[in-house]
Amino acid sequence: MSLDLDGQIRRGEFAVSVRLTASESEVVAVLGPNGAGKSTILETIAGLRRVESGRCRLDGELVDEPSSDVWVAPQLRPVGFVFQDYLLFPHMTALQNVSFGVECGGADKRQARTRAREWLDRLGIEALAGASPAELSGGEAQKVALARALAREPSVLLLDEPLAALDASSRIAVRRELGEHLTEYAGTTVLVTHDPVDALILADRLVVLENGEVVQEGTAAEIRAHPRSGYVADLVGRNLFRGEADHGVISLNSGARLVTADDRSGLVFAVVDPSAVTLHPTEPHGSARNVWELDVTAVEHLGSRVRVLTKGALELTAEVTPAAIEELGIRAGTRIWATVKATEVRTHPA
Amino acid sequence: MIGADPSTVSESRGERPVPRPPPALILLGAAAAAFFVVPLTALLIRAPWSDLPSLLGDPAVIAALRLSAITTTSATVLSLVFGVPLAWLLARAEFRGKSLVRAFVLLPMVLPPVVGGMALLLALGRRGLVGQWLDSLLGVTLPFTTTAAVIATTFVAMPFLVITVEAAFRNLDSRMEDAAVTLGAGTGTVFWRITLPLAAPSIAAGACLSAARALGEFGATITFAGSVEGRTQTLPLAVLAALESNDPDAAIAMSLVMMALSMIILIALRRYWLALR
C-alpha cells in the first residue's frame, strides 16, 4: 500500500473518521458533500494537519502517529498537492512555479529549470513557461499546478476539487486531459470531489464520505449498483454507460442502443438517473425513445424508495416507490418493460 | 427623465450621474484644502530661489543634510532589518504577552517624541538602565552622538513599518505558504521565497512611512542626542537653529529640501499603495 490513512482528524468542533488505503497507480476518489471533511483528509495526508488518533503511512513509512510520537514534516513527505484554487505563486512565472518544488528537492537552479520545462512540455503547456499566473485561464492554471505537483515526482498525488474552479465549457476538456495524465502517472492519486461524474470518470475506486464518516467504499460499478444509503444512491447510484455516440444514438459495447437528445459524437459516457426510468408491466406505447424488455435481478429497499435492478440488453437500475412495486407486482425474476426519454440520457465525453 | 432629481447633474449619457455636493460640505472642504495649500505655497513663494545654491552650500547646512541622510537611511534600514522579523513574530508566532509587546512597539507612534527621547535618555544615557553598563563595561557613551540621533530616529520610525508589515503578514493567504511546504520548502525557504516577496509591496510602503517619519524626526533626537552641529543636528534641528540665530533664508532653504524629499516619498508610497490594491 503506498497510502494507508487510518485515524481520526479533528477540525475544530468537527471530527473526521477515515480509513483510506490505496495502492500504486490507483486513483481513489473521496466523494461527499461540501463540509464532509474531504479536504481535511488531503491536508492530513500532506501533513498540513495531524491525525488526532490513529496513523498515516506513505510508501510504507509511518509519517504520523501521535501515540508513538512519530511525525514527518510536510516538506519531507513524498506528496504532490494540487489545491482547489491552484495556489500558484503570483510573483513567479509558470516555469518558476514548477521549478520551485524541484529546487526544494535539492536540484540546482539550472537542473530544476530543465526539469520544469520538461514537465510543462509533457502537459502541453510549454508555451506558457514565461506567463504569470494572473495571465492564465482556469484550465491552464490547473495544468501548471499539476505540473508543479508532479515535477517533484511524488508517490502520492492529492487533487482537491481539481475541476471545481473551472467553467462548464472548459471543464469537459480539462477533465479528459486530467484523466489521461492520471493514467500515465505511476503513483497513487487521491482525488477529492463533490461531483459524482468527475469521480465516476476519473477514479478506479470511490470512498463516499458523509458527516465525517465513510459511508461506503468500493469500485464505481459496485457502489453504483448497490448504494447503501439514499444519500449514496443520490450521489452515485446512477446508470452509467460507455459507448460510441453518433447523431443522438449511442451504441453500447453490449450491442444495446441508447437514444439521447444530446448532440455529441464520439466516445461518450451516458448517464441515466434511476428515477428517470419508468417501469411498465406490458409493452408501452408512449413517446419515450428508449424502450427495453428486461429481467428484474433484484429489488432493494432504501427507505422510502425502491431500487429495481434489471438485466437484458443492458443493465439498468430504476428507482420507484414501494406502491409502484406492489401495483406492478415486481420481484426478482419478473420480466418488465423499461422506458427512458431521450432527454433523460445525458452524455459526457469519455 | 421622469422624476429626476434636479440636484443631480448627469455629465454625459450612460455614465453614473455625479451628485452635486451640499454647499456646507463645499465650504468646509475648500477651507480645509486652503489650510494646506496656502502655507506650503507661501513657503514656495517666499523662498530665496536665487540665493538657494549659496544657502545650501553653507557648511552648516551641508552638515545637516549629511546627518539627515545618515539618520533617515540608517533608521529605515534598521527598521527593515529588525522590524520585519518583529512584524512576522507579531503576526504569526504564538507567545505570551504578545499584545503587551505590540502595545510597547506601537506606542512611539502616538507618544509625544520628547517623551520617547526622555525614555531613551533614561535607558541609554550615562546613568541609564542599560547606559551605565555600556559606559562602565564597554566605555560607550551614547548621548549627543550621531549614533544617538540614529537610535532616536529609529525609535520613532520603526513602529510605522511594524504596523504596516504586520498587517500584510496577517492578511497574506497562508495557504500559499502551505502550497510551498507541500512542494518541499522548509520554513526558511518559505519565508524568503514566498512570504517576503508576497509582502514586498507592504514592506516597501512601511519603509516609505518610516523614512518620512525619520526625515521629520525632531523631538526625540533633540532630547536624547541634542542639537550638536555636525554630529546630531539634522535638517529639522538645523531649521530651528537657523530661525533662532535669525537666519530665516537658510531655514526656508532647508525646509524646501525637506519638502522635496517628502514629495518623493509620497510619490513612492502612492505607487506601493496602489500596488497593494
CATH of the domain at A173: 3.40.50.300
Q: Phi, psi (5° rounding) for residue A18?
A: -150, 145
ipTM of the shown complex? 0.80
Helix (H) / strand (E) containing A96? helix A94-104
Pick from A197, A215, A235: which residue ends a domain?
Answer: A235
Are A100 and B197 an interchain contact pair (Cβ–Cβ within 8 Å)?
no
Q: Are residues A146 and A287 in the same domain?
A: no
- Distance from the A23 Cα atom to the nearest Cα atom in chain B, whole angstroms: 21
The rounded percent of chain A whose pLDDT value lies above 90 is 56
Per-residue pLDDT tens over the stretch B30-89: 999 999 999 999 999 989 899 999 999 999 899 999 999 999 999 999 999 999 999 999
Q: Are residues A276 and A334 in the same domain?
A: yes
The rounded percent of chain A whose pLDDT value lies above 70 is 100
Q: Are residues A139 and A281 in the same domain?
A: no
Question: In chain B, where are the structural domains located?
Answer: 46-276
pLDDT, chain B, mean:
91
- Is residue A205 within 8 Å of residue A26, measured between CB atoms? yes
Instruction: Identify all chain A residues contacting B186, using CB atoms and an 8 Å cutoff.
Output: 75, 104
A205-229: b (≥16 Cβ within 10 Å) or e: bbbbbbebebbbbbebeebbbbbbe
* A88 → chain B, closest CA residue: B176
Per-residue pLDDT tens over the stretch A280-332: 998 998 888 899 999 999 888 887 888 899 999 898 999 999 988 888 888 88
What is the DSSP pairing of strand B8-9 with strand A305-311? Answer: unpaired
Check residue B10 and give its pLDDT: 46
Say whether pLDDT at B277 is over 70. Answer: no
The Cα-based distances of A3 to A24, A26, A62 in angstroms read 8, 10, 10
The rounded percent of chain B whose pLDDT value lies above 90 is 75
∠ CA A266-A163-A146, nearest 5°, is: 100
What is the DSSP pairing of strand A345-349 with strand A266-272? Answer: antiparallel
CATH number at residue A271: 2.40.50.100
- Domain count along chain A: 2
- Is residue A129 within 8 Å of residue A117, measured between CB atoms? yes
- Is residue A52 within 8 Å of residue A150, measured between CB atoms? no
Are A100 and B178 an interchain contact pair (Cβ–Cβ within 8 Å)?
no
Q: Are residues A30 and A149 in the same domain?
A: yes
Distance CA B4, CA A192 (A): 55
Check residue B68 and give its pLDDT: 96
* Amino acid of residue A226: H
Q: Report residue A197's pLDDT band, with 50, 70 and 90 as the boundaries.
A: confident
- Is residue A29 within 8 Å of residue A199, measured between CB atoms? yes
Q: Are residues A281 and A219 in the same domain?
A: no
Distance CA A62, CA A159 (A): 22
Say whether pLDDT at A94 is over 80. Answer: yes
B182 in A contact zone (CB under 8 Å): yes
Say whether pLDDT at B97 is over 50. Answer: yes
- Distance from the A218 Cα atom to the nearest Cα atom in chain B, whole angstroms: 29
Instruction: Identify all chain B residues contacting A72, using CB atoms and an 8 Å cutoff.
Output: none
Are B181 and A74 an interchain contact pair (Cβ–Cβ within 8 Å)?
yes
Check residue B13 and give its pLDDT: 64
Chain A residues whose C-beta is within 8 A of a chain B C-beta are 46-48, 73-77, 79-81, 83, 87, 89-91, 100-101, 104-105, 148-149, 152
Q: Are residues A211 and A251 in the same domain?
A: no
Longest dimension (CA), chain A: 74
Q: Report residue B24's pLDDT band, with 50, 70 and 90 as the boundaries.
A: very high
Check residue A64 and give its pLDDT: 96
Q: Are residues A111 and A245 in the same domain?
A: no
Q: Are residues A218 and A199 in the same domain?
A: yes
* B198 → chain A, closest CA residue: A91
Q: Are residues A187 and A307 in the same domain?
A: no
Pick from A184, A206, A235: which residue ends a domain?
Answer: A235
Are B181 and A90 an interchain contact pair (Cβ–Cβ within 8 Å)?
no
* A48 → chain B, closest CA residue: B178
CATH-assigned architecture of domain B46-276: Orthogonal Bundle (1.10)
Say whether pLDDT at A50 is over 90. Answer: yes
Mean pLDDT to the nearest integer, A190-197: 89
> What residue numbers bound the domain in which A332 lies?
240-349
Instruction: Identify all chain B residues contacting A87, using CB atoms and an 8 Å cutoff.
Output: 173, 175-176, 178-179
Q: Are residues A117 and A226 in the same domain?
A: yes
* A49 → chain B, closest CA residue: B178
Q: Report residue B12's pLDDT band, with 50, 70 and 90 as the boundaries.
A: low
Best of B172, B174, B182 to disrupt the A interface (most A CBs within 10 Å) is: B182
- Distance from the A87 Cα atom to the nearest Cα atom in chain B, whole angstroms: 6
Pick from A185, A208, A235: which residue ends a domain?
Answer: A235
Are B183 and A83 an interchain contact pair (Cβ–Cβ within 8 Å)?
no
